[in-house]
Structures are given as C-alpha cells and as structure tokens.
Chains A and B, each alone.
Chain A
C-alpha cells in the first residue's frame, strides 16, 4: 500500500509535478529534501563571512554600498531558505545548532580564506555565477516552496555577478598591482570553483535527481559554467591555472580532475578556514543570544 503510494509520488515528481508543504511525501524524500535545503541555507549564511571582512575595507563609497548590499542579500537568502526548512519541520535554531557543532555541512567555497580585494571581485563574479547555474536548475525543483523562492534568489544573484565583474574589470584596467590582485585571486579560487558543482556523479546514481529535487547533473552544471565563463575570463587577458583546460570540438570542456577527496575533507569541516569561521559564528551567536530571549519573553 505505502509502496504504491511512494511509487505514485515518484512518478508524479519525475513527471514534473510539484509538492506543497502539507502534501504527503515519502520519509526518504523529506529527509533528503531537508538535508539539501538546509545545506543551501547554511551555505548562504556561512558565505557571508568570507566577504564580510571587506565591507570595512571597500575602497570607494560605491563599492562599499554594493558589497554591503550583496552580503545583505545573502543574509536574506539564508532567511528565505531556512524558512523552507522550518516549514518542513526543522526549526532555524536547530539548524544553527547543527551547523555550529559540525553536524551539518556548508558549501566548499566558503571554507577558504579571503586575502585581498581581488577575492571580492572573483567571488562575486565567479562563485556567484556558479551558484546561479545551480540555483536556476532548482527553479524546477519538485518541492514548490523551494522552487518559488529560487526565482527571487537568482534575480538577486544576477546583481552580484554584475558587481563582481565590474570590480574585476576595474582591476584589470588598473595598475599592474591591481591586475595582479585579480590574477592571484583567480589562481587560488580556480580549484574550489572546479569543485563547486560536486563530483561527476552519473545522473542515474544521483538521488537528488531521482526525486527531482535537482534537475541538472553535477557535470552538466560544471560544463555550463566552463562554457559560459572561461571565455569571459580569458578575454580579459587573465589565465586559468589548469594546463589541461580546453574545449573539445564537440563542445565539451576537458580539465584536470580535481582531488575529490579534498572536496570531501573540506566540506566535512577540514578546509583552511572552516574552524575559524565556525568559531566566529559561535561567538557572534553567543553575544546576541540574550536578544532573542528578551524579544521572545515579551512577545510570548
């Protein structure tokens, strides 16, 4: 009986059907969905930190405003996505507990340090471009509430890509030192970017595709990123640190296989900045703990 129901559900979502919060869903679907969406929310929240340090160092008023607005958007995305998780049954505070104690994960790129203003441009341009590709593929997610907020998120991310590209363009048109900032940042971020879309898991083995939580396989997303952005990077006279990187005649990009063990190690909390970022979040959360308590006490 429940098998038939699950089978019907599966056929429904695989056929493009969307599920709403109170609809019946198989436990496995709910579990995978929560885990996936929660990691997305965690990533938005932790993604604030690498760029946050540069809010105080932005070199012009316009850059200051644009960077602050970008980070504000990311906080807003975390809020939107955690709300989706909450309505699926896991409160935001529980998500934060799990994130800060290392029980849940966040995206690989947010485990790396930022070193220069060049990072601000490269992150906003290319990390956000990679993120838009993943998020656009979620517009067709089988879970309706998640798919719907993705529209707004993609819209806001498109400003970030513009802002990032503009920062990079100003730097490549600037002094030798400024140009060097971009190239050096690009060299450091390239491997994390190549890992961004995950291991080249075949579509038929990806449970997220099976349940149609995602609608694009990892490798497809990475190819789309390479096809879209490698030419844009190269036209600026910048180089990418991968001697194997080339476009085959059939349109497929070849590249040096990233070290997938490193990806696993980084996302499980062993990246170069993982411990520091989590410690900072724990500290800043502890500092404002009383605020929620006071606000709650009176609102109750």
Chain B
C-alpha cells in the first residue's frame, strides 16, 4: 500500500465553496494529482480540486465556551428592554 493519504476538496461549480470530497492513498504528489483527476472529475463533475496531504491538515475540534462570551454573538444583545425604556422617556418628555 502506498503510505500517504491525501484529502480532496472539490468545487462543484464555479462560485461555490470547496467542500471535502474524500481521501485516497497515493505515493506522492504526482500520483495524487493523477488520482484526484480520475476520482473526482472523470464525469466533469468538478470545477476545481484542492489536493492536500492529510499530514498538512491541522484538525481542531475542541471549542470551549466555559465562560460567558455571548458579547461576540447576536444572542448577547437583547435591545428590547432598553429600547422600551428609551421610547418611554421620549414619550414622557414630549
């Protein structure tokens, strides 16, 4: 068995994002290019491919959210109460 695994990302049509399509074994980059063409474009189903050795991919899967970081998200902003208060003041002042 050739010993390197390559990951392939595929753009189906121009303008679309590249999405992970699969992986295969290949002994080097040249073989990987040849195999990617045959695996992911032999029916002209791809507009572009990225072919990357798996060893070059850094995977991150741990995203801690232990303390409150809601200020970074829309659900961290509840404007309703303050808006009601502001409107009330305007109404009373007028």
Contact = CB atoms under 8 A, between A and B. Distances in A.
Question: Does a CB–CB distance below 8 Å link A and B in the complex?
Answer: yes
Interface of A: 20, 22, 76, 79-80, 83, 91-93, 149, 152, 292, 295-296, 298-300
A91 B22 CA distance: 16
Interface string B9-32: 000000000000111110110000
Contact of A22 (B1, B23, B39, B59): B59
Contact of B24 (A79, A295, A300): A79
A299 B23 contact: no
Contacts of A22: 59, 61
A83 B3 contact: no
A83 B23 contact: yes
B24 A83 contact: yes
B61 A76 contact: no
Nearest to B22: A80
Kindly name the residue among A79, A149, A299 whose own CB sees the greatest number of chain B CB atoms within 10 A: A299
Contacts, number: 32
Chain A binding surface SS class: helix
Contacts of A79: 24, 39
B34 to A, nearest CB: 13
A27 B1 CA distance: 28
A88 B39 CA distance: 22
B4 interface: yes
Contacts of B39: 76, 79
A296 B24 contact: no
Interface string B57-68: 001010000000
A40 to B, nearest CB: 15
Contacts of A76: 39
Nearest to B40: A152
B22 A296 contact: no
B2 interface: yes
Given A80-B22, A299-B27, 18 more contacts: A22-B61, A79-B24, A79-B39, A92-B25, A93-B1, A152-B21, A292-B2, A295-B2, A295-B27, A296-B1, A296-B2, A296-B3, A296-B27, A298-B27, A299-B2, A299-B3, A299-B4, A299-B28
Contacts of B28: 299
Kindly name the residue among A20, A22, A80 whose own CB sees the greatest number of chain B CB atoms within 10 A: A80
Contacts of A93: 1
A299 B24 CA distance: 15
A300 B22 contact: no
Interface string B34-54: 000001000000000000000
A295 B1 CA distance: 8
A93 B2 CA distance: 11
A20 B62 CA distance: 13
Nearest to B24: A79
Nearest to B19: A148
Nearest to B31: A295
A149 B22 contact: yes
Nearest to A20: B61
A299 B8 CA distance: 20
Contacts of B23: 83
Contact of B3 (A20, A152, A300): A300
28 contacts: A20-B61, A22-B59, A22-B61, A76-B39, A79-B24, A80-B22, A83-B22, A83-B24, A91-B1, A92-B1, A92-B25, A93-B1, A149-B22, A152-B21, A152-B22, A292-B1, A292-B2, A295-B2, A295-B27, A296-B1, A296-B2, A296-B3, A298-B27, A299-B2, A299-B3, A299-B4, A299-B27, A300-B3
